[in-house]
Structure 1
């Protein structure tokens, strides 16, 4: 969120630290400051407010309150502490069909307003945070939202239908299937956006016409928009369920500042305070008179105090804070703190919807005290009372397979199609949970078999130890499985693949891993949960050797060209000497030289080498590789070797 330094001064005055100090404070205790930019005579911070604090800090007042907490100062002006004493209007009729989706709905009627340009100070303040001025009423709704975090919407009251007794009627209901709604234009848009509703969305409707006029908490409609002819306005301030707002916004691909705030559950106490602020602002910049306010709040939230124990604070943070220090920090948050049995009874500030449990307050104590003030303590070692059999045997099997030339792979648990479908899939090709490791193992085999020469291998041997998910009557079972796969030919499975796997399965048996598995079509899958049940219960973990250090080496994305060369050499010639002759002339495009065949006959040895040529910049052609191979052949002949 973009935060204006000059705007923060409204709340902190001369107590506000310098811009540099603000960055340091927020970075070390609260949020990441992604950038700082000078805009005219102002400094604007781009602050990354994470979801756990978005309910109160997606506003200038919220960030100012955070800074005040960190420097242990009081706000000189707090719009959330002002007394709300607005006259009640009887000219509204509101129907809320589901109080869980809309827990509070407020309206205010102002007459004799004059629509026009905003004053320079308001235009300048909005411009500093990237907002374009529209008119004084719309700017006022935006200003208050960025000030205190409560989205607002203004309507032209004269464009609404009235009931027979002269009331404006608002319905907050679910949309009708197929109902259409024209939304306010986006920035720089030339045409209105019209959406067709599915029936799952919560809408605000003109009850007099039974017409949807806005997506609740997401975006207002073109209906009853404020124009230069408007003199009577209705201002809406409400609280909508975060999940409902988020689902509607995602469904229609709408991202607004209102959505960002509502989906993070702002306080239900904000609407009257925001109305109070905007009425004062509109009176100042557009004139007019408040005729009255309507508040439907059927189930007011009752905040209960939370017991926060100093002993628990110190235990979880690894500190030794005195009770007075803990109390002082929580009071700096703006919380009401009273003595309680074994600790303090803490009542959250009205704007903090994230402080619900003792651990929430403990986190705040640690954050404000300073995480850098918490010393690292080496944990005390304890003797294991039991050995995890799954882990023990998984590690043992892993080590055995590695010695047999297998490489471990980890594939996705999601599939495009399978027996268990996800309710909310991550992507169109990840809509199900896998019921077997074999499909993805087959895919990995085929992909890697094409690169067997580049890898310098004669075959691809892989295994995976992972979870699969199967339906069993009315429940889902999670099973630990082992899958092995071998592919020796690029074209697919051959009988030699099964032979390698079966030999490996025999090695597992020789090392105490009893099983009855057999390879089929180059793959094999074993239920480790069932297998481990029949194995001896381990009493201690075995020592595992630390592997050699591995350094990542980039690989080329372009295809390789493979060439073979075979030769006879005298048995007295060392293999490495032959390899050096080849490498010296193969050039810098030769990425690998592999010996793939060797046999002796009549005092001579036959060597067959495979050369892999590959560029990091382009796809090579035969014409580019042939000069290097010619040089290799000539060098081999000069060394006295006989090519064949």
Structure 2
């Protein structure tokens, strides 16, 4: 909501400075988001009238003007503006005037000088030179009735400020200058100037027949015919200026009048070209397939969930949102129909977003507009039309089939004191409601308030408590320490924080990304294998229509974004929530399936395994790099990696990550199909894990420093190609070694290209190092040999391995 201070003070003028008014509104719940002057400072700029204008003798594009600025003698001013002509009144900067700074921030001082040999005693100004607008097409022409010699700042009321309010949805009653003034009056106690709407006497009896077929769409519809209007009439400058300071440019006189009343009293209205209406108007719900070309040039298709105003032939307007092009007023319009209605907020809410646009009218109607003043506001609009455009008004037509019922709301004074946190009396509450002009009655510590028709936000006791608090003043509330003890939540040692996970991944070289939780539907079907993702009822964009069940698609999009900007090496991760259908999750609506929303952590690596460096040749990142990062992230817990299938990953280069006998994630290389579709030069490797599994960690247990030196033995076993490393290690760890085996790891794999002595073509050799130790004594050769033989026998029994000769 944007408006000028001068307009606000016409309704309520407290003895406060501009800054104090802004602070008062903010502390009263109407946050002033921005406060700026309407024009930068400048001086010695007055109204001048061009009395003579001749061609410059030495320049084709310059003219020499004789300008009267009320000093008796005419000023000789050289001007290059194309609209400089005799008789117009323009801002004239006198010698010594200081104009607003230029683009480099330097003030521009007007001096006596010569242009192409002709003396210039000042400067005729455009709106851009005074920093009033960006218009630099010519001089700023002032109204012909403006007195010569007056200060331009006074004439254009430039010593004014523009307020911009950031209003919450419950403050619809403040979406007008008068509404803000009403709040300011209540907050300061300054008198409020109540508007008077004098009825316009009808000059003819013409009426337009209107039928309200949908009372659940339109609760009240008022209108009147105005004949013989001059639509080419010029909008008065005072109205143009006020609209501009509300952020609305001038269009035509009729459109400006409608917008003016909307900003003034919060009443959206519409003016039809009466002669373009076919028959009568019908206020109804739309019919599937009906089309309407709107004033913004867009053609939309309506259905039975959208309200319309239609005539006997076609739809003419989108109810409460925007008029149609077919009945729009133009320069040829002679007769108009002025309409003001009350549209039920529920009937307007969300309709604009269906068609990807919004309007000031829809913004107000979906929050609630006063239904009691439609006739009075039409009288006001009619008066402005007649004063500016002429015309003859007809009788008022007012239909109110269904008005909102204003149910009384009760507030307990004791409850209000408890919520506010300070003692408050019944008299203070009644005074607050009186200042807000809310009808209230008190009885036995309970106050009953009947909300006025312009307050749609008062439905429960807390709404009334909020109003009392605003009037009492948030800055007057006492500072009270909390009564309950504050106890720090100590995280158990067996669990690390999400922040710690982020730091760990950052230490591994990954950069965090944050992405939307709603993604393209094709990602879910192709990358997550989810044929039935959770659909969004009202997506912000067509490519964000479903909730993600995997983080992989989001990371691929980030990779694509970086590669498009010539990134050579990308490592990114995300910690976020996914959304899975789960009927076991309880919901309040039994017709809706439950949604399980676990947290996941996912990472992606692309490019070289290391940054460019001199020590070794660059190698592309591969599955084992990502697997190593996953192991480091889960450490000290040790995960198992088993072959797995994932729709986004290469079928032969994908592994499931298992902890405590349960799969907690997947790591692998992107599937060639998706690599080709996303146009990646090489395959990225990705991993995705359950966050709960990552944050869980084993509590370190104390072990004394070993007193006896361990022993190490290397063995090489020959196994079939199908035998995995995990299977061999599992057999080693299962061997009966009486607790002497401390570690076993693979340090070499040998696979001959063809059969050799002692090895068939379908066999390979694993070289493993065994670490043996005892806490009680140094191991003897016999103990070591017995452990090694037990391990060899167990490996042979489980995997069919044999020692390599």
1:211 Cα deviation (Å)?
1.8
1:44 Cα deviation (Å)?
4.0
**Structure with more of its chain in helix, by fraction:** 1
| Separation in 2, partners of 1:135, 1:503 | 69
1:347 Cα deviation (Å)?
1.9
Q: Does residue 37 in structure 1 map to residue 147 in structure 2?
A: no
Q: Equivalent residue for 1:107?
A: 223
The SS at the match of 1:307 is: strand
**Relative contact order (C-alpha < 8 Å, sep 6+): which is higher?**
1
Q: Measured at CA, do residues 514 and 446 of structure 1 come closer, stay the same or move farther in structure 2, by a change above 3 Å?
A: farther
* Contact 2:633–2:694 (8 Å) recurs in 1: no
Q: Which segments of 5 or more consecutive residues in structure 2 lack a partner in the other structure?
A: 40-152, 525-532, 584-591, 611-619, 640-658, 669-684, 700-805
Q: Which segments of 5 or more consecutive residues in structure 1 lack a partner in the other structure?
A: 163-167, 187-192, 537-644
Q: Equivalent residue for 1:542?
A: none
The SS at the match of 1:109 is: strand
Q: Equivalent residue for 1:575?
A: none
Q: Measured at CA, do residues 509 and 224 of structure 1 come closer, stay the same or move farther in structure 2, by a change above 3 Å?
A: closer
| Separation in 1, partners of 2:404, 2:288 | 30
Q: Measured at CA, do residues 311 and 228 of structure 1 come closer, stay the same or move farther in structure 2, by a change above 3 Å?
A: same
| Separation in 2, partners of 1:244, 1:94 | 19
| Separation in 2, partners of 1:65, 1:96 | 33
Q: Equivalent residue for 1:563?
A: none
CA deviations over 1:99-146 (Å, ceiling 9, x no partner) = 333333222234565654455654554455465556654443233222
Q: Please, which of 452, 456, 460 is the counterpart of residue 349 of structure 1? A: 452
1:169 Cα deviation (Å)?
3.4
Q: Equivalent residue for 2:473?
A: 370
Q: Equivalent residue for 1:179?
A: 291
Q: In the TM superposition, what are the counterparts of 1:137-286 in structure 2 within 5 Å?
A: 137-162=254-279, 168-174=280-286, 177=289, 179-181=291-293, 183-184=294-295, 193=297, 195-199=299-303, 201-207=306-312, 210-226=313-329, 232-242=335-345, 245=348, 247-285=350-388
Q: Equivalent residue for 1:395?
A: 496
The SS at the match of 1:103 is: strand
1:234 Cα deviation (Å)?
1.9
* Contact 2:582–2:594 (8 Å) recurs in 1: yes
The SS at the match of 1:345 is: strand
| Separation in 2, partners of 1:255, 1:395 | 46
1:150 Cα deviation (Å)?
0.7
Q: How many residues align?
A: 509
Q: Equivalent residue for 1:478?
A: 596
Q: In the TM superposition, what are the counterparts of 1:482-631 in structure 2 within 5 Å?
A: 482-483=600-601, 489=609, 491-495=620-624, 497-498=626-627, 501-502=630-631, 505=634, 507-508=636-637, 516-517=662-663, 520-521=667-668
* Contact 1:152–1:236 (8 Å) recurs in 2: yes
Q: Equivalent residue for 2:432?
A: 329
* Contact 2:208–2:224 (8 Å) recurs in 1: no
Q: Measured at CA, do residues 379 and 109 of structure 1 come closer, stay the same or move farther in structure 2, by a change above 3 Å?
A: same
The SS at the match of 2:339 is: strand
1:237 Cα deviation (Å)?
0.5
The SS at the match of 1:364 is: helix
| Separation in 2, partners of 1:467, 1:224 | 50
The SS at the match of 1:269 is: helix
Q: Measured at CA, do residues 526 and 293 of structure 1 come closer, stay the same or move farther in structure 2, by a change above 3 Å?
A: same
* Contact 1:108–1:235 (8 Å) recurs in 2: yes
* Contact 2:626–2:687 (8 Å) recurs in 1: no
Per mean C-alpha deviation after superposition, the further-off stretch among 141-150 and 229-238 is 229-238
Q: Does residue 424 in structure 1 map to residue 523 in structure 2?
A: no
Q: Measured at CA, do residues 259 and 301 of structure 1 come closer, stay the same or move farther in structure 2, by a change above 3 Å?
A: closer
* Contact 2:207–2:394 (8 Å) recurs in 1: no
The SS at the match of 2:260 is: helix
| Separation in 1, partners of 2:388, 2:216 | 36
| Separation in 2, partners of 1:21, 1:504 | 56
The SS at the match of 2:164 is: strand
| Separation in 2, partners of 1:479, 1:383 | 30
Q: Measured at CA, do residues 24 and 515 of structure 1 come closer, stay the same or move farther in structure 2, by a change above 3 Å?
A: same
| Separation in 1, partners of 2:19, 2:631 | 67
* Contact 1:86–1:276 (8 Å) recurs in 2: no
Q: Equivalent residue for 1:467?
A: 577
| Separation in 1, partners of 2:298, 2:687 | 55
| Separation in 1, partners of 2:502, 2:190 | 63
* Contact 1:108–1:292 (8 Å) recurs in 2: yes
* Contact 1:464–1:484 (8 Å) recurs in 2: yes
Q: What RMSD, in angstroms, separates the aligned Cα atoms of the two structures?
A: 4.6
CA deviations over 1:153-201 (Å, ceiling 9, x no partner) = 2234344344xxxxx43343315526242x44x6xxxxxx252435464
Q: Measured at CA, do residues 20 and 91 of structure 1 come closer, stay the same or move farther in structure 2, by a change above 3 Å?
A: same
TM-score (normalised: structure 2): 0.54
Q: Measured at CA, do residues 440 and 172 of structure 1 come closer, stay the same or move farther in structure 2, by a change above 3 Å?
A: closer
